[in-house]
Structure formats: C-alpha cells, structure tokens
Amino acid sequence: MQASDPTPDDDTMDELLAIRRSIDNIDAALVHLLAERFKFTQKVGRLKAAGGLPASDPERERVQIERLRALAVDSHLDPAFAEKFLNFIVAEVIHHHEQIASTGAIETHSV
C-alpha cells in the first residue's frame, strides 16, 4: 500500500457513510424548503402582475442580502457565499415574476 493511497478502516468508512447520509438528508430538506419558498414567491409574482408592479424590487433585494449576510456570519458561513446563493435564487424569482407578468403563469418542471 502506498502512502498516497491509504485504505480506510471500517470505522472510518462507517463514520463517512453516516455523515454522508446526514448531508443527503439536509440536501433533501433544502430542496423541499426551496420548493416551499418558490410557492410563496409565485404568489408574490401574481400579486405584482395584478398590481402592475415591476418583477424586481431592488430595495427589498438589498435588505434581504444584508439580512442573509448577517445570518451567515452568525452561523459561521461565508457571507459572500450566502449572498451568491441568494442572488441566484432572486434571479430565478425575477425570471418567474417576468413570466407571470407576460403569460399569467410560469413554466414548471413538475411531473
């Protein structure tokens, strides 16, 4: 056996698998939470479209970024990562709001 290619023992593999199961559970929870979040943002999009409001609300986005950066710091998470993550979500939400405003509905990937 080479030093650069160690074979993990059973305890290490058991712990690794347990940690990965926890990660998988968290990933599943994230997907469910994002789906729930998008249900609410779709409602926001319909309200904005009905009221003639723009798809984007830069002040709300700025406040949310500040809030999430602070939450990230409190949670020992890189605030720049939290901001990138939120920016990605906000871009998708704005896209949905634009679709709702132009067509009254959004494309979904539901089965």
In a domain, 2, yes or no: no
Distances (CA, A) of 107 to 35, 50, 77, 94: 14, 18, 33, 13
In a domain, 1, yes or no: no
In a domain, 5, yes or no: no
Question: Where in the sequence is the domain holding 34, given as residue range(s)?
Answer: 10-103
Pair 55, 45: CB distance under 8 Å: yes
In tens, the pLDDT along 55-94 reads 999 999 999 999 999 999 999 999 999 999 999 999 999 9
In a domain, 109, yes or no: no
The C-alpha atoms of residue 81 and residue 76 are separated, in whole angstroms, by 11
Q: What is the CATH number of the domain that holds 80?
A: 1.20.59.10
* Residue that is written with structure tokens 């059973």 in the block: 10
pTM, full prediction: 0.78
Total of domains in the chain: 1
